[in-house]
Structure 1
Amino acid sequence: MAAKDDDRNAPERTCVATRAVRPAEELIRFVRAPDGQVVPDLKRELPGRGAWVTATADAVRLAVTRKAFARGLKDAVMVDPAIDQTVDELLERQTLAMLGFANKAGRVVCGFAKVEAALMKEPVLALIEAADAGADGVRKLAQAWRRAGKTGETRRVGLFRSAQLDLALGRSNVVHAALLAGPVSAAFLARCEALARYRGMNDGPEPAEAAGSTAASGEEPAKMDRA
């Protein structure tokens, strides 16, 4: 393939769906596989011409509707109508893998009592709470953060179900976890923000205090945390 067709290091690219010019890190690269199928290249490692799409599910669906992949790749291609969901699953898998790395680095504390204690004495970057967590536990941990009187803002990550957290952390019944400061923790939060943006959750991980206020709105607790 000619060097001029290697677009992987370009600082900016044009979205084939919207025609907006954006920094490369705000787009997803797609390539044509040998069988003609369009596949996402999230790591930007695959050779050949790429078609770049704004990193949101809406933009990927728009690219499918407008048949923009064939134009961007300048070749006949086959596109799975559910390619937006494929990208979502890949982003989710990468994010959970990064959480696993943070756990192996000793930057994750699990279990309600341990998380509550960590909020008082550890550099907590984020509260990780299962999407099916009980409202009462979410509210109480938000209150614990306020009682700690620390400056700055702890984030709340609620993108994953308890079963997904179990697999990522190698534990059972994970509902509440604390993410401690560290490079791999920051990388995990960046992945969370990218996944949230892709799904149209504009703010990504939300402030822990706001999450506690929302959780106190009358929902019934979904499950207890035995991790």
Structure 2
Amino acid sequence: MTDATTPAGDAESDDLSDAVAFPDEGPERTCIVTRSKGSPEALIRFVVGPDRSVVPDLRCRLPGRGAWVTAERSKVLEAVKRKSFKRAFKSEVEVPPTLADMIDGLMEKDALQALSLANKAGLVVAGATKVEGSIGPKVPAALISASDGSADGIRKMEAAVRRLMGDEADSIARVRDFRSDQLDLALGRTNVIHAAVAGGRAAEGFLTRARRLARYRGGSAAKAAAPHSTIETRPIED
């Protein structure tokens, strides 16, 4: 039986510092819902397991014929509602009713694992004071604010970043898709509300996943920074 959480298992064994963990080259794919074409990184691949269940293949590595859906929660829900998978695979298939939530959880787990790896590489500092202190000669790749943090705290952090960096603050990605308790587990600390991620391969791996998760959820929580911007890759001073 194919476990629908197989992609998450891959995430644990793969090098999460890879900026892109799915193909970004090759022919365009066609969404089975919208019929629009796009690059593989803009869609989610699905395959059918031996038990005839539809399995999300986030890494595009599972064997078998694939069907592609635009990487947005609303499109996955529409595919389930319209029975698009049955038509795409031209056979009866079992579609988990919680498929959209399952994908959200897999993407979230993947991003948090990548953040943990960046932390182990010494690229993350946590705490408002340390985050502010990390901004200066070195430009962080991303600023993280817990989704359940106070609006006033986020406003104060934004004001501090603007004060220190001016217009250059717009080049830093903002990530607000994770709760404080999730950040605690990923970083091995307690009460994490604010964090900064320095530039580097591991950091870009995290940002790739955070951006994809934000797009899937239909929000702008992971503000896109220039993907190839020049960012100092030495660890942030803790």
- TM-score using structure 2 length: 0.78
Kindly indicate whether residue 101 of structure 2 is the aligned counterpart of residue 85 of structure 1.
yes
**Structure 2 unaligned blocks of 5 or more:** 1-22, 226-238
Residue type at the aligned position of 1:39:
V
Kindly indicate whether residue 205 of structure 2 is the aligned counterpart of residue 187 of structure 1.
yes
Match of 2:144 in 1: 128
1:85 counterpart SS class: helix
Kindly indicate whether residue 180 of structure 2 is the aligned counterpart of residue 176 of structure 1.
no
1:149 counterpart SS class: helix
1:39 counterpart SS class: strand
The superposition leaves residues 66-115 of structure 1 with CA deviations (integer Å, 9 ceiling, x where unpaired) of 11112212222100121011111111111111111111111100111111
Residue type at the aligned position of 1:28:
I
Kindly indicate whether residue 230 of structure 2 is the aligned counterpart of residue 198 of structure 1.
no
Q: Structure 1 pair 97/38, CA: closer, same or farther in 2 (3 Å)?
A: same
Alignment equivalent of 1:165, drawn from 176, 180, 183:
183
Residue type at the aligned position of 1:146:
R
2:97 counterpart SS class: coil
Conserved in 1, the CA contact under 8 Å of 2:211 and 2:223?
no
Match of 1:211 in 2: none
Residue 10 of structure 1: how far off its partner (Å): 5.0
User: Aligned partners of 1:58 and 1:200: how far apart in 2?
Assistant: 8
Conserved in 1, the CA contact under 8 Å of 2:176 and 2:221?
no
Match of 1:27 in 2: 43
Residue 188 of structure 1: how far off its partner (Å): 1.2
Q: Structure 1 pair 207/42, CA: closer, same or farther in 2 (3 Å)?
A: closer
The superposition leaves residues 127-181 of structure 1 with CA deviations (integer Å, 9 ceiling, x where unpaired) of 1110111233222221221222363522221101000001111111111101111
User: Aligned partners of 1:159 and 1:135: how far apart in 2?
Assistant: 14
Alignment equivalent of 1:45, drawn from 51, 56, 61:
61
User: Aligned partners of 2:212 and 2:112: how far apart in 1?
Assistant: 13
Kindly indicate whether residue 27 of structure 2 is the aligned counterpart of residue 11 of structure 1.
yes
Residue 64 of structure 1: how far off its partner (Å): 0.8
Please tell me the root mean square deviation across aligned C-alpha atoms, in Å: 1.9
Conserved in 1, the CA contact under 8 Å of 2:146 and 2:192?
yes
1:28 counterpart SS class: strand
Match of 1:118 in 2: 134
The alignment of Structure 1 onto Structure 2 pairs a total of residues equal to 200
The superposition leaves residues 111-130 of structure 1 with CA deviations (integer Å, 9 ceiling, x where unpaired) of 11111111234321221110
Match of 2:123 in 1: 107
Match of 1:214 in 2: none
2:141 counterpart SS class: strand
Conserved in 2, the CA contact under 8 Å of 1:119 and 1:144?
no
Residue 16 of structure 1: how far off its partner (Å): 1.0
Runs of 4+ in structure 1 deviating by more than 6 angstroms, as ranges, are none
Residue type at the aligned position of 1:199:
R
User: Aligned partners of 2:137 and 2:160: how far apart in 1?
Assistant: 11
User: Aligned partners of 1:207 and 1:188: how far apart in 2?
Assistant: 12
User: Aligned partners of 1:46 and 1:146: how far apart in 2?
Assistant: 45
The superposition leaves residues 34-69 of structure 1 with CA deviations (integer Å, 9 ceiling, x where unpaired) of 111111000111101111111011111111111111
Q: Structure 1 pair 45/207, CA: closer, same or farther in 2 (3 Å)?
A: closer
**Structure 1 unaligned blocks of 5 or more:** 1-7, 209-227
